[in-house]
Structure 1
């Protein structure tokens, strides 16, 4: 059975509000949840960015379903610290935590003052981080010299077994690469042709475990209201794709965004009908083991109530 999860967007909401939202998501019938891990929002209109690791501990304690996050070890987080955080969460909540590892965005990482690497260097660094984190999660005491440095490190409080480490990929090429080391795949998108290429690339390269898709949606009472919510809250997604990883400040995303109706509808599934939205999500998510819905609008409670009565039944009838 396909898992349908709720995405908690730290860029848009205070952590206390998100904690209430994730509890409501469980009560209305979602199977799981995930969250972002940002230091800064994409735009000033979003205006938030709570610390994901603190929040996820509270969220796991106040719910009973699985919750994971997408994170980027290597610059803002030393991999030893990332491994310690993962081990602690998995020890407290066995079988309910997962992490998806990506190479990161300058928006969140530039604050260390270190130079922002190009894509190839970021991927080498991530691969080294994965190797270090996996060894630490099994209790090894290690030193490491590579794109990151580790000196005689060990994690002392360990879970019975390590949590799964997914790979985050947007393109087919990156999906093929993460298949070498990941326990599963997570990608993002709403175009069925594009999402299927990413999933197929991962499987063709021997990728194992679950494949997960995060989908940005805007569901409001009218199509115009749904479009306006996307324009206000998710316009950064219309910035040139090649710049997304390298911009350092929300203002830069605002300057480069081109929030035309066409651009917004490519980035976000915009609808007023839950049936129509469910059909389009099901097309994008065909073959995926997990779907995580991210409603970009600001009234999460109203959205979740609609999920209970309309969207979740409609989606489950199609997947």
Structure 2
């Protein structure tokens, strides 16, 4: 649109307008809407059955609580277990739907040094907690440069290990907080070694 990156509260309001529009489309309506988003006589020529779920993505507790009012489920990412516990509790207290999923960022390689190098190279721009992560609008910001990112920050954002048993244990601990499903995201560019290792050694420990 050529506009500046909107404030968090504006983005949230825009999301909720879009949720309303999409919900009406999924119900088979022809939709017109004037607000933060503009829709003119939109319709879906084929409506999915069963109706797709609209999932609320949230990193902060506050965003999760707000999403509980409209969403068919909650999706969040691995972070401090205390934050995740509070998020799940507040989601339930707000009447959130009983569908909660967690995305877990991992970095695995044959050695710990290699695993850390992958995480640092590929994921160091994603180590910032709210509200900083909401407002990084361009990749040239000094905050996402190599300088100033500590190993501790990277380890807080990504589960890093060469030990598949340790990875499985940490993933299990996060899942047991109360999530219905866990989505594993290996942050490296080469996915095949991880998929083979995870399929052979991680998934059996999580599903047994």
d(CA) in 2 for partners of 1:140 and 1:129? 14
Partner of 1:118: 7
Q: Which residue of 2 aligns with 1:290?
A: 181
Deviation per CA, 1:170-208: give whole Å up to 9, x if none: 111111110000000000114322222222221111101
8 Å CA contact retained: 1:166, 1:183: yes
Candidates 109, 115, 120, aligned match of 1:231: 120
Q: Structure 2 length as normaliser, TM-score?
A: 0.91
- Cα offset, 1:141, TM superposition: 1.4
Matched position secondary structure for 1:292: strand
Worse-matched range after superposition: 123-132 or 252-261:
252-261
Distance between the aligned counterparts of 1:261 and 1:255, measured in 2?
14
Residue 199 of structure 1 is matched in structure 2 by 88
SS across alignment from 1:203? helix
Q: Distance in 1 between matches of 2:32 and 2:127?
A: 42
Partner of residue 79, structure 1? none
Write the distance in 1 (CA, Å) between the matches of 2:32 and 2:194: 48
Residue 280 of structure 1 is aligned with which of 153, 160, 170? 170
Partners of 1:132 and 1:113 lie apart in 2 by 23
Equivalent residue number for residue 127 of structure 1: 16
| Corresponding pairs, count | 206
Contact kept, 8 Å, 1:192 with 1:285, in 2: the verdict is: no
| Structure 2 SS opposite 1:151 | strand
Consecutive unaligned residues in structure 1, runs of 5 or more: 1-111
Once the 2 structures are TM-superposed, how far is the Cα of residue 258 of structure 1 from its aligned partner? 3.3
Long gaps (5+) in structure 2 = none
Contact map agreement 1:240 1:256 (CA 8 A) in 2: no
Compute the TM-score of the two structures, normalised by the length of structure 1.
0.61
1:256 Cα offset (Å): 7.6
Mark the CA change 1:240 to 1:136 in structure 2 (over 3 Å): closer, same or farther: closer
Per-residue deviation, residues 243-272 of structure 1 (Å, max 9, x unmatched): 322223223253386332111111111111
Give CA-to-partner distance per residue, 1:96-145, whole Å, 9 cap, x none.
Answer: xxxxxxxxxxxxxxxx3123221111111111110111001111112222
